[in-house]
Amino acid sequence: MLISMHLCFLNQGQAEQDAEFKTFLNDQRQRQAQWQKELEVSSGEAEAAYRFLRWCDRLSLILAQRQVPVGGRQLDITHGPDDQLYRVYRLDCGHLGVTPWPFSCKKLTVAVDACYLSQLQFATNDELRAALADAPRKTVEWTFAKP
């Protein structure tokens, strides 16, 4: 259901230009309603869960693209499940802060294994797979701390 909601969000502009895509998105919205019913989830609960997914997705993109500003400046992440706007920024110590603070602990570290590609586009999925298989890997960590 959340993937379907994300597909609709990411491609909402396409529906205006492509009738087939409009049909696809309308079908997805109908499926979402059915899934909500089957899961016994209200539309408000589904929307809150989707806002959390979007929040995580946006923050991961900010981190992966190294977009956290320096000098105490804040960058909007997006609205969270509570419909509050969250922002990320770099603390003087080098850790990252988020306002308002969304975590139950005062400090946490997240890590991902990153593949470093020298090419931005690939002609086929097989070409991308091969590049990923050969790419150098490195673990990247970020520490979030409550100021």
Instruction: Please say if the pLDDT value at position 128 is more than 90.
Output: yes
How many Cβ atoms are within 10 Å of 98's Cβ, its own excluded? 20
Which residues touch 121 (CB under 8 Å, ≥6 apart)? none
Instruction: Please say if the pLDDT value at position 29 is more than 90.
Output: yes
Which residues touch 126 (CB under 8 Å, ≥6 apart)? none
What's the confidence (pLDDT) of residue 102? Answer: 95
44: left (phi over 0), alpha (psi -120 to 50) or beta: alpha
With pLDDT > 70 as the criterion, what percentage of the chain qualifies? 100
Q: Which residue type, as a one-letter code, is found at position 4?
A: S
pLDDT in tens, 45-100: 999 999 999 999 999 999 999 999 988 899 999 999 998 999 999 999 999 999 99
What's the confidence (pLDDT) of residue 16? Answer: 83
Whole-number average pLDDT of the chain: 94
Q: How confident is the model at residue 104 (pLDDT cuts 50, 70, 90)?
A: very high
What's the confidence (pLDDT) of residue 9? Answer: 92
Mean pLDDT value of segment 102-119: 94
Q: How confident is the model at residue 14 (pLDDT cuts 50, 70, 90)?
A: confident
Q: Which residue type, as a one-letter code, is found at position 106?
A: K
Which residues touch 52 (CB under 8 Å, ≥6 apart)? 80, 81
Q: How confident is the model at residue 125 (pLDDT cuts 50, 70, 90)?
A: very high
Which tokens sit at 17?
């230009």
What's the confidence (pLDDT) of residue 73? Answer: 96
